[in-house]
Copies of this chain bind each other. A is one copy, B any other.
Amino acid sequence: MVGGGPGAFIGAVHNRAATLDGLAVLVAGAFSSDAAKSRAQGETYGLSAKRVYGSFMEMAEREAALTADERIEFVSIVTPNHMHFPVAKAFIERGIHVVCDKPLTTTLEDAEELCRLVKKHNVVFALTHAYVAYPMVKQARALVQEGKLGTVRKVVVEYSQGWLSQPLEQTGSKQADWRTDPARAGAGAIGDIGTHAEHLARYVTGLEMEKLFADVASVVPGRRIDDDANMLVHYQGGARGILFCSQISVGEENRLAIRVYGTEASLEWHQEDPNFLCVRHANGPIETYKPGNGYLAPAAQRGTRMPAGHPEGLHEAFANLYGSAIRVMKARQDGVEPDPLDLDYPDVRDGAVGVHFIQTALRSGREGDWVDATYEAPGG
> Which of A's residues lie within 8 Å of B, judged by CB?
9, 12-13, 15-16, 19-22, 44-46, 153-154, 156, 161-163, 165-166, 213, 215, 217, 219, 228, 230, 232, 234, 240-242, 244, 246, 248-255, 259, 261-266, 271-275, 279-290, 292-295, 305-316, 368-370
Choice from B275, B306, B309 contacting A13 with Cβ under 8 Å: B306
Q: Are A13 and B292 in contact (CB under 8 A)?
A: no
- Measured between C-beta atoms, what is the minimum distance from A56 to chain B in Å? 22
Chain B residues, CB < 8 A from A254: 307-310
Known contacts being A279-B285, A289-B285, A315-B305, is A250 close to B230, with CB within 8 Å? no
Q: Are B309 and A311 in contact (CB under 8 A)?
A: no
Q: Are A309 and B253 in contact (CB under 8 A)?
A: yes
Q: Complex Cα distance A9/B312, Å?
A: 14
Q: Are A266 and B288 in contact (CB under 8 A)?
A: no
Choice from B240, B244, B283, B285 contacting A288 with Cβ under 8 Å: B285
Chain B residues, CB < 8 A from A307: 9, 163, 253-254
Supplied contacts A283-B295, A311-B311, 20 more A-B pairs, CB within 8 Å: A9-B307, A15-B22, A154-B246, A154-B249, A215-B234, A232-B232, A242-B244, A248-B261, A250-B263, A250-B266, A250-B281, A251-B265, A251-B266, A251-B279, A253-B292, A255-B309, A286-B287, A310-B313, A312-B313, A313-B316
Closest residue of B by beta carbon distance from A280: B251
Q: Complex Cα distance A274/B306, Å?
A: 15
Closest residue of B by beta carbon distance from A239: B219
